[in-house]
Structure 1
Amino acid sequence: MSVLGALARRLGHQRWFAAAGRLLAPADRLVGRLTRGRVVALGLIPSLVLTTTGRRSGKPRSNPLLYVPDGDAYVVVGSNWGQPRQPSWVLNLLAEPAAEALRNGHRTPVRAELATGAERERLWRLLVAEWPAYHTYARRAGDREIRVFRLVPTGVPSTGGTAPAA
């Protein structure tokens, strides 16, 4: 882990860090799109760009997310930095689980599986090992359930093109 990555993990618990992260998300989406998913979150943490279908608009919506690998799948969490409401991408996946993950310049069609019970706890431990601030986000979210998804590849990764607009 890089020094900057370790620093980011340490600062991740701070409210100002979460606020800055929310403000910088549009810039992170742009960098991810311009680099075709090769640079997300400044390369400090394992990240991908998840493109879902807007549940109301039907348009593609892209969001940079931290992920952890689980076999051939990617595990993501709808923490929304500990905010009281779900992130839109979570609601989009609940409405339409087919999505696309852009990681290291490779696009992979995926199907989102909502983790529950013991499986959720197992995946939560993997996520917290990568980003300990998720404990802080869960505390801040209060009664809101923080949803955990396993993104299972449904096709062969491809390269080229740019990420869909957010």
Structure 2
Amino acid sequence: MVIRIMSTLNVFAYRLSKGKLGGKFLGGAPVLLLTTLGRKSGQRRTAPVLYLADGDRFVVVASKGGFSKHPFWYQNLESNPSVEIEIGGERRKMTARRASDAEKRALWPKLVAMYRDFDDYQARTKRDIPVVILSPL
């Protein structure tokens, strides 16, 4: 419940300020807004997530702080990989897919360099934390 409230406030501040508020996380990691369609409701759901720019793609991590279950946004994009992202005031339509094991191995050191807690989250949970690649349509 606390995570949901904080996410809602972050989305509001991010949109109002075009990313000036909520556009950076602890340690300066960049944040984008990821909008998915609810797998049950079909309604648009937006979550702030840390990202790594990779050429014209963006890489996000479905860590949920190392909790035992995937975040709702990840479950939503498994059902429908068409997503929208917002960076600053710019919106882009993307398609999402889970990184292959080889891609995750290559990207993980860069992700951890950006946000060190990802390693702690993976150590804390039994689930394999998905790395997601967002590519332009």
TM-score of the superposed pair, with normalisation by structure 1 = 0.74
1:75-86 to structure 2, matched below 5 A, reads 75-86=59-70
Alpha-carbon distance between aligned partners in 2 of 1:37 and 1:52, rounded to the nearest angstrom: 19
The answer for unaligned runs of 5 or more in structure 1 is 1-19, 155-166
Which residue in 1 is equivalent to 2:11?
29
1:113-128 to structure 2, matched below 5 A, reads 113-128=97-112
Query: Which segment drifts farther, 22-31 or 82-91?
Result: 22-31
* 1:109-162 Cα distance to aligned partner (Å, 9 max, x none): 000021012111112222111001100011112x111011110011xxxxxxxx
Distance 1:58 1:37, change over 3 A: farther
Say which SS state the counterpart of residue 49 (structure 1) adopts. Answer: strand
Say which SS state the counterpart of residue 92 (structure 2) adopts. Answer: strand
Distance 1:23 1:133, change over 3 A: farther
Alpha-carbon distance between aligned partners in 2 of 1:102 and 1:38, rounded to the nearest angstrom: 12
Alpha-carbon distance between aligned partners in 2 of 1:144 and 1:27, rounded to the nearest angstrom: 28
Say which SS state the counterpart of residue 40 (structure 2) adopts. Answer: coil
Verify the 8 A CA contact 1:37 1:49 in the aligned structure 2: no
Say which SS state the counterpart of residue 102 (structure 1) adopts. Answer: strand
Verify the 8 A CA contact 1:51 1:63 in the aligned structure 2: yes
Alignment: residue pair count? 134
* 1:79-115 Cα distance to aligned partner (Å, 9 max, x none): 0011111100000111100000100210000000210
Say which SS state the counterpart of residue 101 (structure 1) adopts. Answer: strand
TM-score of the superposed pair, with normalisation by structure 2 = 0.89
Which residue in 2 is equivalent to 1:147?
130
Which residue in 1 is equivalent to 2:114?
130
Runs (4+) off by over 3 Å: 20-23, 36-39, 41-44
Greater C-alpha radius of gyration: 1
Say which SS state the counterpart of residue 25 (structure 1) adopts. Answer: helix
Distance 1:22 1:42, change over 3 A: farther
RMSD over equivalenced CA pairs, Å: 1.8
Say which SS state the counterpart of residue 13 (structure 2) adopts. Answer: helix
Give the % identical residues.
37
The residue type paired with residue 133 of structure 2 is: R
Q: Specify which structure has the higher proportion of strand.
A: 2
Query: Which segment drifts farther, 115-124 or 103-112?
Result: 115-124
The answer for unaligned runs of 5 or more in structure 2 is none
Alpha-carbon distance between aligned partners in 2 of 1:136 and 1:22, rounded to the nearest angstrom: 22
Alpha-carbon distance between aligned partners in 2 of 1:76 and 1:97, rounded to the nearest angstrom: 14
